[in-house]
């Protein structure tokens, strides 16, 4: 089976949601990693400051020592002239003693050429005594500036250390030599090596000279040019130590002195958080390298949380979208339904208006026969009356002529009333007209319209009318209802020798009940439910349209009332009841 566009779309949506979930989780995990790393870098930076402090305080402890010793009169006098072996021995022992007390590495006294005339390590094979250190920068610095400092590998001992020196001057401030203290950092390096971090100190050229782990020392962080090499060679700063570059590549920089870097260190290539702290007093830089400790669980939790949040958001959007679509669909179907109902109502109203009109026309047709009969008779009578009148006037019997005018006048009045009714009956009344009217008067009017037939057929009429019976409605239409009921009753009693029509109008709580009962054949049980159906008729073709009751039923409803049919309980014949709400307002005001 070929996949439908719906399945393709659905798969695409699922794919998109999954991709979104993976992306959200990935981003959150990366973010959590970065966050953790930055926090780690922050901590490392604080630790670095502590390490820098310990280095500073170590150096500071010895900074004043050469200056104080340079003031010693014995040292000064021994440098002012050639030195005897005895003097030298005394000096050696003295320096040895002071060195032991100060816990420095070595103390040495250089003469104005840089020759070591006495040293605390005079007993050792690596004794400085007799060696010239004029080439060391600290010596030239001391000669010109009064003090000097220099980190270097000892050319005699091979042990690296920090040389701090102070000028020994004569009475006239002339330069006699230099007092030098050498500091070595094995303890510091050992102390630093207890932690898991790599701690390095580099000089101004970026050459690492202190390291708490083997393999890092004498690596340089920046390329060295020919001038650098020449100078290092001349000062023999790192003496015979080979200098090799340390390859590293910055991966992410947190700030000027903090970054994540891939370092090709002695233990192979690895990522490090690299924190640096410049030690301005010495012109050095302290470095702390730490393996980033990414807590897997933290980043996994962050990923899961982000995926959860993303999915919640997606489902919320889907849910809201679905609700919105449903509401729109409901709204549309409601509108369609409303439109349909409106159209149907309009159609029904038009159809009903048409039915009412055609029923009226049918009634009019039937009535015109009766009307012709009704009018013909008085017309013939009037012609005869007029002839009589002429004769009476010819004979000058004016009084008799006046008397003879009375029946003519009566007949004309009656004919005018009849035609007046017919005129209003045939008009198409606007639906929904609700004027205040007396239902009893409507009964009178209808009986008057059918008067000719009632008299012809010798119908006895029993009237029980409550007057006035105020209702709201259209007089013409209600009259039409009543005429229909009366005509049907007359039709039903056609074959009865004794015809009796009973009309009752009485109040029942909120309603007027108007009933028309006849003593005709009644309505067959099986037809009771259908008599109000349009075009239902039991009359022969040409006689009945089957519209009268259907239209009457509609008119009753339109006026807020009901029309019902039943057979009389006692005796024969049908009874039709029209109920209409009482117009209480009219009754109260009357
Ligand atoms: P039509 O008079 O043209 O037949 P109607 O709608 O007025 O149409 O009446 C429908 C049918 O109801 C009549 O054909 C008749 O069978 C029945 N009917 C109406 N009024 C009476 C009544 N008073 N007695 C018996 N049957 C009646």
DSSP code string of 325-355: HHHHHHHHHHHHHHHHHHHHHHHHHHHHHHH
User: Of all atoms in ligand 1, which is nearest to the CA of residue 573?
Assistant: 24
Of the two residues 579 and 235, the one the predictor is more confident about is 579
Report whether pLDDT(102) > 50: yes
Report whether pLDDT(64) > 60: yes
User: Of all atoms in ligand 1, which is nearest to the CA of residue 549?
Assistant: 6
Distances (CA, A) of 468 to 125, 444, 580: 150, 12, 14
Ligand 1 centroid vs 46 CA: distance in angstroms? 110
Close Cβ partners of 267 (under 8 Å, ≥ 6 residues apart)? 215
Q: Can you tell me the distance from the alpha carbon of 177 to that of 111, in angstroms, rounded to the nearest whole number?
A: 4
**Is the distance from the beta carbon of residue 544 to the nearest atom of ligand 1 less than 6 Å?**
yes
pLDDT of residue 577: 96
H or E stretch at 208: strand 208-211
Ligand 1 centroid vs 348 CA: distance in angstroms? 23
- Give the pLDDT band of residue 365 (cuts 50, 70, 90): low
Ligand 1 centroid vs 522 CA: distance in angstroms? 9
Q: Can you tell me the distance from the alpha carbon of 47 to that of 32, in angstroms, rounded to the nearest whole number?
A: 23
Ligand 1 centroid vs 358 CA: distance in angstroms? 17
Q: Is the pTM of this model over 0.85?
A: no
Close Cβ partners of 253 (under 8 Å, ≥ 6 residues apart)? 259, 260
Tens digit of each residue's pLDDT (9 = 90 or more) over 188-218: 888 888 888 899 999 989 999 888 888 898 9
Ligand 1 centroid vs 151 CA: distance in angstroms? 133
Report whether pLDDT(425) > 50: no
Ligand 1 centroid vs 531 CA: distance in angstroms? 6
**What is the average per-residue pLDDT within 167-193?**
89
Tens digit of each residue's pLDDT (9 = 90 or more) over 133-155: 998 889 999 999 999 988 888 87
Q: Which residue has the tokens 């259907």?
A: 550
Q: What is the CATH number of domain 435-589?
A: 3.30.565.10
CB atoms within 10 A of CB 240: 8
Sheet bearing 175-183, strands edge to edge? 116-119, 106-111, 175-183, 160-169, 147-153
Q: Can you tell me the distance from the alpha carbon of 127 to that of 254, in angstroms, rounded to the nearest whole number?
A: 48
**Is the distance from the beta carbon of residue 120 to the nearest atom of ligand 1 less than 6 Å?**
no
Report whether pLDDT(414) > 80: no
Structure tokens at 538: 């039991």
**Is the distance from the beta carbon of residue 534 to the nearest atom of ligand 1 less than 6 Å?**
no
Q: Which residue out of 366, 450, 482, 488 has the highest number of ligand 1 atoms within 8 Å of its CB and is therefore the one to mutate?
A: 488
Q: Can you tell me the distance from the alpha carbon of 163 to that of 179, in angstroms, rounded to the nearest whole number?
A: 10
pLDDT of residue 514: 97
Burial class (CB in 10 A: 0-12, 13-18, 19+), 354: exposed
- In the DSSP assignment, the letter for residue 132 is B
Ligand 1 centroid vs 417 CA: distance in angstroms? 28
On average, the pLDDT of the chain sits at 86
Report whether pLDDT(535) > 80: no
Q: Can you tell me the distance from the alpha carbon of 278 to that of 76, in angstroms, rounded to the nearest whole number?
A: 37
Report whether pLDDT(430) > 60: no
Structure tokens at 515: 């009933």
Close Cβ partners of 477 (under 8 Å, ≥ 6 residues apart)? 356, 429, 433, 555, 558, 559
For the chain, give every domain's residue range.
Answer: 65-183, 186-290, 300-394, 435-589
Name the closest-CA residue to atom 16, ligand 1: 538
User: Of all atoms in ligand 1, which is nearest to the CA of residue 547?
Assistant: 6
pLDDT of residue 56: 87
Of the two residues 418 and 494, the one the predictor is more confident about is 494
Q: Which residue out of 539, 549, 551, 577 has the highest number of ligand 1 atoms within 8 Å of its CB and is therefore the one to mutate?
A: 549
Structure tokens at 539: 């009359």
**Is the distance from the beta carbon of residue 537 to the nearest atom of ligand 1 less than 6 Å?**
yes
Residues constituting the chain = 590
Q: Can you tell me the distance from the alpha carbon of 463 to that of 574, in angstroms, rounded to the nearest whole number?
A: 16
**Is the distance from the beta carbon of residue 484 to the nearest atom of ligand 1 less than 6 Å?**
yes
Task: Select from 3.40.50.150, 2.60.15.10, 3.30.450.20, 3.20.20.70 the CATH code of 65-183.
Answer: 3.30.450.20
Q: Which residue out of 493, 531, 571, 573 has the highest number of ligand 1 atoms within 8 Å of its CB and is therefore the one to mutate?
A: 531
**What is the average per-residue pLDDT within 394-416?**
84
Domains 186-290 and 435-589 share a fold: no
**Is the distance from the beta carbon of residue 551 to the nearest atom of ligand 1 less than 6 Å?**
no
pLDDT of residue 418: 59
Distances (CA, A) of 95 to 101, 119, 147: 10, 6, 19
pLDDT of residue 422: 52
Ligand 1 centroid vs 545 CA: distance in angstroms? 10
Name the closest-CA residue to atom 14, ligand 1: 537
Cβ contact 524:514 at 8 Å: no
Report whether pLDDT(354) > 50: yes
- Give the pLDDT band of residue 371 (cuts 50, 70, 90): low
Ligand 1 centroid vs 527 CA: distance in angstroms? 10
- Give the pLDDT band of residue 424 (cuts 50, 70, 90): very low
Q: Which residue has the tokens 């109502």?
A: 345
- In the DSSP assignment, the letter for residue 82 is P
**What is the average per-residue pLDDT within 492-520?**
94
198-202, 429-433, 550-554: least confident range? 429-433
CA angle, 394 then 396 then 402, to 5°: 100
Structure tokens at 412: 């004309």
Report whether pLDDT(340) > 80: yes
**What is the average per-residue pLDDT within 468-486?**
91
Q: Can you tell me the distance from the alpha carbon of 299 to that of 305, in angstroms, rounded to the nearest whole number?
A: 10
Considering the chain, what percentage of its residues have pLDDT values greater than 90? 41
Structure tokens at 259: 């970054």
CB atoms within 10 A of CB 364: 13
pLDDT of residue 363: 57
CA angle, 303 then 306 then 307, to 5°: 85
Ligand 1 centroid vs 526 CA: distance in angstroms? 13
Q: Can you tell me the distance from the alpha carbon of 374 to that of 368, in angstroms, rounded to the nearest whole number?
A: 9
Ligand 1 centroid vs 471 CA: distance in angstroms? 26
User: Of all atoms in ligand 1, which is nearest to the CA of residue 518?
Assistant: 23
Task: Select from 3.40.50.300, 3.30.420.40, 3.10.20.340, 3.30.450.20 the CATH code of 186-290.
Answer: 3.30.450.20
**Residue 195: half-sphere exposure toward Cβ, Cα within 13 Å:** 18
pLDDT of residue 194: 85
Beta strand extents in 93-197 (DSSP E only): 106-111, 116-119, 147-153, 160-169, 175-183
User: Of all atoms in ligand 1, which is nearest to the CA of residue 544?
Assistant: 3
Ligand 1 centroid vs 535 CA: distance in angstroms? 10
pLDDT of residue 350: 85
Sheet bearing 208-211, strands edge to edge? 208-211, 198-202, 284-290, 268-279, 258-265, 248-255
Tens digit of each residue's pLDDT (9 = 90 or more) over 222-232: 999 999 999 88
- Nearest partner of 153 among 203, 117, 91, judged by Cα: 203
């Amino acid at each position: 089976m070929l996949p439908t566009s719906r399945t393709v779309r659905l798969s695409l949506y699922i794919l998109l949601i999954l991709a979104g979930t993976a992306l959200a989780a990935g981003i959150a995990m990366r973010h959590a990693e970065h966050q953790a790393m930055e926090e780690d870098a922050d901590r490392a930076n604080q630790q670095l400051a502590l390490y820098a402090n310990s280095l500073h305080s170590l150096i500071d402890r010895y900074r004043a020592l050469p200056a104080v010793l340079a003031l010693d009169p014995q040292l000064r006098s021994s440098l002012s002239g050639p030195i005897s072996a005895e003097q030298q021995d005394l000096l050696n022992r003295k320096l040895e003693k002071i060195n032991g007390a100060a816990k420095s590495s070595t103390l040495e006294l250089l003469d104005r050429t840089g020759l070591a005339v006495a040293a605390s390590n005079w007993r050792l094979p690596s004794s400085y005594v007799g060696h010239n250190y004029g080439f060391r920068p600290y010596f030239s610095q001391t000669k010109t500036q009064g003090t000097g400092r220099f980190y270097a590998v000892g050319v005699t001992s091979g042990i690296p250390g920090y040389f701090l020196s102070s000028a020994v001057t004569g009475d006239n401030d002339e330069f006699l030599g230099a007092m030098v203290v050498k500091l070595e950092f094995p303890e510091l390096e050992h102390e630093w090596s207890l932690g898991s971090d790599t701690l390095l100190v580099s000089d101004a050229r970026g050459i690492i000279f202190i390291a708490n782990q083997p393999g890092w020392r004498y690596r340089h962080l920046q390329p060295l040019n020919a001038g650098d090499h020449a100078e290092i060679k001349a000062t023999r700063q790192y003496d015979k130590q080979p200098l090799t570059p340390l390859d590293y590549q910055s991966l992410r920089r947190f700030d000027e002195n903090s970054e994540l870097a891939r370092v090709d260190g002695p233990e192979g290539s690895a990522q490090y958080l690299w924190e640096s702290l410049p030690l301005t007093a010495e012109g050095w830089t302290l470095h702390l390298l730490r393996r980033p400790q990414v807590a897997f669980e933290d980043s996994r939790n962050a990923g899961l949380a982000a995926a959860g949040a993303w999915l919640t958001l997606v489902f919320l959007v889907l849910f809201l979208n679905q609700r919105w679509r449903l509401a729109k669909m409901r709204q549309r179907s409601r509108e369609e339904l409303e439109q349909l109902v409106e159209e149907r109502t309009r159609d029904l109203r038009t159809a009903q208006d048409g039915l009412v009109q055609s029923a009226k026309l049918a009634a009019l047709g039937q009535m015109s026969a009766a009307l012709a009969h009704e009018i013909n008779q008085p017309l013939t009578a009037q012609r005869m009356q007029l002839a009589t009148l002429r004769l009476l006037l010819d004979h000058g019997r004016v009084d008799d002529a006046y008397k003879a005018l009375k029946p003519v006048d009566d007949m004309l009045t009656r004919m005018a009333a009849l035609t007046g009714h017919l005129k209003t009956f045939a008009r198409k009344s606007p639906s929904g007209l609700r004027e205040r009217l007396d239902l009893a008067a409507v009964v009178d009017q209808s009986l008057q319209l059918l008067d000719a037939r009632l008299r012809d057929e010798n119908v006895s009429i029993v009237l029980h009318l409550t007057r006035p019976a105020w209702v709201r409605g259209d007089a013409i239409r209600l009259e039409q209802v009543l005429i229909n009921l009366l005509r049907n009753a007359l039709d039903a009693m056609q074959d009865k020798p004794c015809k009796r029509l009973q009309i009752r109008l009485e109040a029942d709580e909120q309603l007027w009940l108007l009933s028309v009962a006849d003593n005709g054949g009644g309505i067959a049980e099986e037809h009771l439910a259908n008599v109000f159906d349009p075009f239902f008729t039991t009359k022969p073709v040409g006689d009945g349209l089957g519209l009268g009751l259907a239209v009457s039923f509609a008119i009753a409803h339109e006026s807020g009332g009901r029309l019902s049919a039943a057979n009389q309980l006692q005796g024969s014949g049908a009874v039709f009841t029209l109920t209409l709400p009482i117009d209480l307002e009219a009754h109260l005001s009357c």
